[in-house]
Amino acid sequence: MKASQVIKRYEAYCPQDLSMEGDISGLQIGTLDKDIKTIMVALDIREETVAEAIQKQVDLIIVKHAPIFRPLKNLVASPQNKIYLDLVKHDIAVYVSHTNIDIVPDGLNDWFCDLLDIKDTSILSPTKDSFGIGRVGTVEAQDFQSFAKKVKQVFSLDSVRLVAYQPTTKLISRVAICGGSAQSFYKDALRAGADVFITGDIYYHTAQEMLTDGLLAIDPGHHIEVLFVSKVAEKLRQWQVENDWDVSIVESTANTNPFFHL
C-alpha cells in the first residue's frame, strides 16, 4: 500500500489545518508516493530513533516533534545533519503531527485528562472555529501535593517540579493541562478558574508570576508527550483492521528524553 493512504486516513482524524500558526506539520522528509511495509510512531527523531528505524526496516515515521525545526545552512555530515542524511539514504519518510494532535478532540491533551481522571473538560485556549489547545476540567478535591504525586506516578517520572509556596495545604479541584511547553497559556488557566496548571518547561520568572497571580503549577517535563507513541499506534492498528492494510505498525522504544534527575 502507499504511504499516502495511511496519511489520508490520519489527516481525516487529525487535519494539518488545525495546527497553530507558524507550526511545522505534515511531510517533512521523503515522499508519500511510495509503497510501504512498516510504519513507526515516535515522539522525537534523534540518532537512536534513526538507528532503530533502519534496524526495523521502517518506511514511514509518524512523529510529534519535527526533526528539522530551524533552517539548515548545509547538509555537511555533522552529527545533527547525519540524522537527516541517514533518513534520506534509507528512504525513510517522516510525517510530523505537532500542535494539531494537541488541539484535535480525542488527541493528546484529552488523553492526558483521561489518565489523570480530569472530568467535564473544556478547551483551555481557543485557536480557531470551535477548536483550541489545552484542556481544563475538574478532579476530586484533594491536596495539591497528593495530586502532584499522582502526576508523577501516572507518567512514571523520577520527579516533578512544583510551583508553590511551601508548605501548601491548598485543596485543588480544577485543573488545566497542556502538553509540551505551554507556560504562555497560564493566563488562560487563571481565566478558566484553574487551581493548578500542568505543563512542561516552566521558566523561573514565569513561575514567580504564576504564584503572584495565585496559580499553582506542576512541571512534569516535556517528555510526557511520549504518550503520543502508544496512542497514535493504537489508532493506526484500529484503522489497519478496518481498512485491511498490509503493513506492520511499531512503536519506537528509543529513549529520547535528554533529562534525568539524581
Binding-site entries: 65, 102, 222, 225
| Distance of alpha carbon 204 from alpha carbon 256, whole angstroms | 24
26 DSSP β-pair partners: 96
- Residue type for 203, please? Y
Report the C-alpha gap between 108 and 134 in whole angstroms.
Answer: 9
Cell 489520508 maps to which residue? Answer: 8
Cβ neighbours of 205 (radius 10 Å): 8
Is the Cβ–Cβ distance between 15 and 100 less than 8 Å?
Answer: yes
Element (H, E) at 152: helix 144-154
The rounded distance, in Å, linking the Cα atoms of 124 and 190 is 10
What SS3 string covers 114-171?
Answer: HHHCCEEEEEEEECCCCCEEEEEEEEEEEEHHHHHHHHHHHCCCCCCEEECCCCCCCE
Binding site as annotated, residues for a divalent metal cation: 65, 102, 222, 225
Q: How far apart are CA 49 and CA 253, in angstroms?
A: 8
d(CA 236, CA 99): 19
112: Cα separation from own chain's centroid = 10
